[in-house]
Amino acid sequence: MSDQSDRGPSPALFFETVNAYQRTAVLKGAVDLDLFTAIEEGNATTDQIARRCNAAPRGVRILCDFLVVYGFLTKTGERYGLTKDSAAFLDRRSPAYLGGAIEFLLSDPILTAYRDVAALARKGGTTLPQEGTTSTENPIWVKFARGMAPLMAPAAQWLAELLDPTPKSPLRVLDVAAGHGLYGLAFARRNSAARVTALDWPGVLAVAKENAQRLGVVDRFATIPGSAFDVDWGRGYDLVLLPNFLHHFDIPTCEKLLAKAHTALAPRGRVAVLEFVPNDDRVWPPGAATFAMQMLATTPAGDAYTFRELQGMLRNGGFTDARAHSSPDGFETAVVAPK
């Protein structure tokens, strides 16, 4: 947030925010046209890009210029190019391609949830039907599992390195609300003696199993289909992972989940909670702080919890000595506690 004390009032922030939907729509349109891949293939002029994308030259020129203004493309003379970020994340051929995440991030339920923010504030929770995105077997999580995996891969690798630094000993890992499964699978890839069990809805687990097969570790991958609140998790795990899950629920519900994790662990086991963790002031860092709005819009009672709150949940769930570890990009925090 900028310091306005040294200047007069300006309507710039108002107009930038009111028109922000245009940036979202333009980026989605460019991904739909496969415009970034077209440029990376060597199509640099308006006419070349238009032919490759089956679009009108005028439309392509205006679209590309807009993307230059907002930092997605470069322009030299009449030739367009990709920035480093766009080449890494928006070229469909890149292993880190994020275009598929749009299927989840801009899905109808997510967009619908934001149509009346005043109603969200009045209610104090989602206005979506049933339990919002936390409803039973909500199909949105299959979209999440398919679309968001590339975004999660670096964090999954970092977490495995943090928790299993010398990957030689046998390790039993339970990945709760596994989604794409990459968090648990990172341990199996890193440690040939690790065995991973993923817990999630059946449709989502099908995606996780596909990833296990693709990564060559399906022989050490098992599943528990169903609700994390209802099914038996089993016993004797060395590590229980709760990646990006607790924020969907209120504190008492989180404590019940953590108590269940405590029961599932072996005597010297650990729980690892991965979350967007704001400071106590709840306005910094911006990514973690603003994530609370996503929970207000899509869940009945979820939130972005501070480290102090997570410590309290873990303590009430039976854990002690919780410690926070920031991811290399500073985007998320792993809170790890021994049984």
User: Which residues lie closer than 8 Å to 111 by C-beta, 6 or more apart?
Assistant: none
CATH number at residue 50: 1.10.10.10
Q: Are 241 and 257 in contact (CB under 8 A)?
A: no
Q: What's 67's DSSP letter?
A: H
Domains in the chain, number: 2
Quick one: which H or E segment has residue 195?
Answer: strand 194-200
Q: Rounded CA gap, 321 and 124, in Å?
A: 32
3 state SS of 3: coil
In the numeric block, which tokens belong to residue 156? 């999954």
In this prediction, residue 4 carries a pLDDT of 56
Residue 7 domain-assigned? no
**Do 128 and 90 sit in the same domain of this protein?**
no
CA neighbor of 258 nearest in space, from 206, 192, 336: 336
Half-sphere exposure of 211 (CA within 13 A, CB side): 28
Residue 207 domain-assigned? yes
In this prediction, residue 5 carries a pLDDT of 58
In this prediction, residue 7 carries a pLDDT of 78
**Do 132 and 89 sit in the same domain of this protein?**
no
- What's the burial of 140, exposed, middle or buried (CB within 10 Å: 0-12/13-18/19+)? middle
- What's the burial of 31, exposed, middle or buried (CB within 10 Å: 0-12/13-18/19+)? buried
Q: Are 208 and 200 in contact (CB under 8 A)?
A: yes
pTM of whole model > 0.85?
yes
Q: Rounded CA gap, 235 and 187, in Å?
A: 19
Beta pairing class for 73-76 and 79-82: antiparallel
- What's the burial of 147, exposed, middle or buried (CB within 10 Å: 0-12/13-18/19+)? buried
3 state SS of 146: helix
Q: Are 333 and 291 in contact (CB under 8 A)?
A: no
Residue 42 domain-assigned? yes
CATH number at residue 257: 3.40.50.150
Domain region containing 147: 123-338
> Which residue, 45, 79, 97, sits at the end of a domain?
97
**Do 76 and 142 sit in the same domain of this protein?**
no
Q: Tell me how crowded residue 288 is: count the other CB atoms within 10 A of its CB.
A: 22
**Do 260 and 297 sit in the same domain of this protein?**
yes
Q: Are 273 and 327 in contact (CB under 8 A)?
A: no
**Do 185 and 265 sit in the same domain of this protein?**
yes
**Do 69 and 189 sit in the same domain of this protein?**
no
**Do 85 and 151 sit in the same domain of this protein?**
no
- What's the burial of 217, exposed, middle or buried (CB within 10 Å: 0-12/13-18/19+)? buried
**Do 260 and 184 sit in the same domain of this protein?**
yes
- Would you call the peptide bond into 285 cis, given omega within 30 degrees of 0 as the criterion? yes
**Do 149 and 92 sit in the same domain of this protein?**
no
Residue 235 domain-assigned? yes
**Do 86 and 184 sit in the same domain of this protein?**
no
Amino acid at 31: V
> Which residue, 31, 63, 97, sits at the end of a domain?
97
Residue 301 domain-assigned? yes
Name the E strands within 34-98.
Answer: 73-76, 79-82
> Which residue, 97, 112, 132, sits at the end of a domain?
97
In this prediction, residue 3 carries a pLDDT of 55
Amino acid at 208: A
Residue 291 domain-assigned? yes
Low-confidence ranges of the chain (pLDDT < 50): 1
**Do 219 and 305 sit in the same domain of this protein?**
yes
**Do 92 and 150 sit in the same domain of this protein?**
no
Residue 116 domain-assigned? no
Residue 23 domain-assigned? yes
Q: What's 338's DSSP letter?
A: E
